[in-house]
Amino acid sequence: MSKIIWSVIDEAPALATYSLLPIVNAFTQAAGVEVVTSDISLAGRVLAAMGLAEDELSKLGEVVLQEDANIIKLPNISASVGQLKDCIAELQSQGYDIPNFPENPANPEEEAIRAKYNTCLGSAVNPVLREGNSDRRAAAAVKKFAQKNPHKLRAFSANSKAYVTHMEGNGDFYGNEKSVTIDKNQKVIIALNGKELASIKALDKEILDGTYMSVAKLRTFIQKTIDDAKANGVLWSIHLKATMMKISDPIMFGHAFEVFFQEVFTKYADTFTALKVNPNQGMNDLEKKIKGHTQEAEIKAAFQAVVDSDNPQIAMVDSDKGTTNFNAPNDVIIDASMPVVVREGGKQWNRKGEAVECVAVIPDSTYGMFHQEMVADCVKNGQYDVSTMGNVANVGLMAQKAEEYGSHPTTFELKEAGKVTVTAEDGTELMSFDCEAGDIWRMSRAKDIPIKDWVRLAVERARLTGSPAVFWLDENRAHDAQMIKKVKTYLADHDTSGLDMPFMNITDATRYTNARVRQGLDTISVTGNVLRDHLTDMYPILELGTSAKMLSIVPLLAGGGLYETGAGGSAPKHVDQFLHEGHLRWDSLGEILALAESLRFIGNKKSDSKLKALTAALDVANDAYLDNNKEPSRKCGEPDNKASHFFVAQYWAKALAAGDNAELAARFAPVAKALTDNEAKIMEELLSVEGKPQDIGGYFHPDNAKATAAMRPSATLNAIIASI
């Protein structure tokens, strides 16, 4: 029997799995395919780090190196320190004997505990599993449905004041970057004033980048954005990726927090030091640290005084709860938050819950340029038309921890001023940087084999679609200059006759792509790893209403397949709603589309008529799901995620019963009849839990029995599925 591995992860998609997976397994096993699970949730990884569970992530890291690997990966939490601490507390409350998270390790034992927990922070999963590059696009049926049933994009007002600002000059990562291509396998040492910070084993033809963020210039920039926002009369917000860039971005977040509330941090510096307040963790953590202190009320009043002063308003994460942009570094994730700014007409929400025009502050210009142009384009040309806009697919370089997302082990907050050097094993100095204490220095890497495969995939997609494939590479960025040389070399290995594959910097590529989008024309963006993340949320959210509906295929370098199911940025709000009123609005279409591609992968390797019939029937079911508008409603009391799964099962069974494989037709004809005849009863049972609070035994680590009961409330549906 063939095997598909389905990842057990976190939050809304994890809840949806309790309902969907029994249906999936009942159908796939009929064609000789077993879907097994692997727990790579945050809680699962914490328990593994503490030796209380199998290390499923490491096991999957070995699987992706095998030619028959077949993994469906749902979106997982990229944990901030705050999320990790909450997860640890929940596991402790469930009886697990694990230590607290040592924020400030005071001895070797605490340092060892902290090191174990650090493996669970940030983007811990993706770099392990992504042993291939990304082919991310909208399925034709999904795009067609979105155009026929356009979601709402709010208009940009005439003379809109919305804008994006980023650092310029030589203060940020873009401006300070240096890059080299290594000419042999060798050890490379990173040192500060001659003292080693880290060493790596660099590979032949690998690109190494070194760069730093000047903290002094960052703080000056932040203050200027606050002054400008006040002068321009716009809401102020900062947009970072503290979940993925788990070293650098929380530090930048902390500096922004300190600058905005500088007088408070200055006045209470001694108190904050004594209480071990870390601005990098935001207001939520600060309030926990000062709780019960004699100055608690005074400090809270001081923060409120800054908010009530003539400073610009701060964007709110949750106006009803009074949660600002500074609540926690993981609350505002740039690739999820910036599409909302564009979707809402250049606006974010103030303390009163009003949508008002904003400035989006993105310190690093490397990616700020993209978002700046996205907003500027809409200010100039107006909002997009969902019913006519073209599609933007993406071919993303991400294999083998490519570029910034793999830089965690080589990112440092410098303890002293001086020279950072990058030196080859023979003593040759490859790069050097004059930095100040507190500057954020990092090295990023891009290996040669992934780059070569990335070029191959871009040519393949351009040939299959006929769309232009634009390499978003900026000759004025040090890293991209090295990349351009490699890409031109590897393009010569392919037949590119008749293909349009230009090189453009970020601003020009955005303008070119957006002009085509407005003309209803399709474009392939060929980008590096982080920019891939930004584009594959921005355009799908505008085109489709969500990035969760995107088809995300990762052809693994070893020959296997990794099928990712979209983004989970809104998953926490979905869980909150489910716990409060039993309604889960998570749309599992991404998982269902991934399953179809996963089955197709097996079918392409095996000439199996049953498997081909099963896959073809699922394609029919997916089309019917869209044509009949069976996506979950956002409103309690209406059909939710559980009902969507029922209709997928019904459509899938009907397609199999009407298919040309006699064995499957005979097996699923009674299933299709039962699901059709009992539709009213099943829907009644599914809707019976709407409006009722749900207890699943834990947010990060649910009780399986409780979660199963909550997500499978229809005894009639369960019995039919069990009968298969």
116-140 confidence digits (pLDDT tens):
999 999 888 888 998 999 999 998 8
SS3 522: coil
Rounded Cα gap, residues 614 and 627, in angstroms: 20
Quickly state the pLDDT bin for 76 (edges 50, 70, 90). Answer: confident
How far apart are alpha carbons 546 and 146 in whole angstroms? 10
Residues 263-291 have a mean pLDDT of 96
Per-residue model confidence (pLDDT) at position 570: 57
* Mean pLDDT confidence for 457-473: 98
Rounded average pLDDT over 569-584: 86
Q: What's the average model confidence in pLDDT over 65-89?
A: 92
Contact indicator for 613, 621 with CB cutoff of 8 Å: no
Those residues with Cβ within 8 angstroms of residue 198's Cβ, 6 or more apart along the chain or in another chain: 189, 190, 409, 410, 412
pLDDT the model gives residue 115? 94
Q: Specify the pLDDT at position 363.
A: 97
- Alpha carbon separation from 116 to 100, 128, 411 (Å, rounded): 12, 16, 18
> Helix H segments across 606-640?
609-627
Q: Work out the average pLDDT over 564-568.
A: 72
Mean pLDDT of all residues in 168-196: 97
Q: What confidence category does residue 406 fall into, taking pLDDT thresholds of 50, 70 and 90?
A: confident
Q: How many CB atoms lie within 10 A of CB 428?
A: 10
pLDDT tens figures, 226-256: 999 999 999 999 999 988 888 999 999 999 9
pLDDT tens by residue, 605-646: 888 889 999 999 999 999 999 999 999 999 999 999 999 999
Is 82 in contact with 42 (CB distance < 8 Å)? no
Residues 347-393 have pLDDT tens digits of 999 999 999 999 999 999 999 999 999 999 999 999 999 999 999 99
Per-residue model confidence (pLDDT) at position 557: 94
How large is the average pLDDT for residues 473-491? Answer: 98
CB distance 554 to 135 below 8 Å: yes
Average pLDDT, integer, range 693-697: 97
The secondary structure of 340-388 as a DSSP string is HHHHTTSEEE-TTS-EEEEEEE-S-HHHHHHHHHHHHHHHHH----TTT
